[in-house]
Amino acid sequence: MIVDEFIENPEPVSGFSNPENYWPDFLALLHLLLIKHGEKKFHMVTHGKKYSKNLCNLADKLELKWKVVKGTSLFEYQKQVTTLPQIVIDALGRDKNGIKTKGLVIAKDENTLNDLEDSVLSHSNIGKILEYPDCCVNWFVSNQSSGWEEVYAFIMENSREGTNTPIEEIILNMDQYFEYDYIPESEKRTRKIRIDHITESRETMPFIFFQPCDVCIGPSSPARKLNERYANFAKENYPQLYEIIISEGKKDAKAFR
């Protein structure tokens, strides 16, 4: 009943919601249903957005529990092409480590939600909480690290004072210009991710939310297996939702071309 109603009248319930299609919203509904049936433990979105309230309402209707979980952030960096100078790594750590952060989490019961309280909400840990494959989580952190290296090189090339720039100013600029389109390396890398990874996953793995890594865009990968597991759950229990996630996923893929 709730599923039919939502398919009839979908609402934005995801950070990926967009005016072009309802793929993110139907997929969010499926992930809540996976939790309800004990197939998945958590669903998480940014707290305090317009769509988060809609998501809480949907969770209430499905008799799931939700909570704004408090945690701390952590700067994660793995050397890619050229290591960032240690002084920059340290300053980014000082700027980001231990900062209080919040996430809106949905689970089956309150105890499960309370277990997450005071967690480190780093990219790696969020990936683990949401049951993403390790390879894809590592690949995401590597990509972010490349972004930090690219933005540092860009700022150094374009600053008159170069390495004499005060470190606080360097960090501010790095935050501001991270994955900025005018940085050719970042633009090239993120374009490749959009085409080879995001478009590919919307077309052939529309039942997962994360970006599949280099290995996972290949055949019979961990991401493809996970996609298949979620797809089979949908096909068996909510055939109409299964069909519409596939068709809306194809529309969403077009937006990334």
Residue ranges that bind Zn ion, judged by CB under 5 A: 133, 135-136, 213, 216, 223
Q: Closer CB to Zn ion, residue 40 or residue 224?
A: 224
User: What is the sign of the dihedral through the CA atoms of 32, 34, 36 and 41?
Assistant: negative
Q: Closer CB to Zn ion, residue 155 or residue 223?
A: 223
Half-sphere exposure for 98 (CA within 13 Å, toward CB): 3
Q: Closer CB to Zn ion, residue 151 or residue 226?
A: 226
β-strands 65-72, 43-46 pairing: unpaired
Least distance (Å) from Zn ion to the CB of residue 213?
Answer: 3
Q: Closer CB to Zn ion, residue 74 or residue 135?
A: 135
Q: Closer CB to Zn ion, residue 35 or residue 208?
A: 208
C-alpha distances out from residue 245 to 25, 115, 119, 177, 256, Å: 9, 31, 32, 34, 17
C-alpha distances out from residue 255 to 20, 57, 94, 153, 216, Å: 8, 28, 37, 30, 21
For tokens 């019961």, name the residue. Answer: 109
Least distance (Å) from Zn ion to the CB of residue 205?
Answer: 11
Least distance (Å) from Zn ion to the CB of residue 46?
Answer: 23
User: What is the sign of the dihedral through the CA atoms of 131, 229, 223 and 190?
Assistant: negative
Q: If you ran DSSP here, which 8-state letter would residue 84 be given?
A: P
Least distance (Å) from Zn ion to the CB of residue 208?
Answer: 10
User: What is the sign of the dihedral through the CA atoms of 176, 181, 186 and 192?
Assistant: positive
Q: Closer CB to Zn ion, residue 35 or residue 216?
A: 216
Least distance (Å) from Zn ion to the CB of residue 216?
Answer: 3
End-to-end CA distance of the chain: 35
Least distance (Å) from Zn ion to the CB of residue 90?
Answer: 30
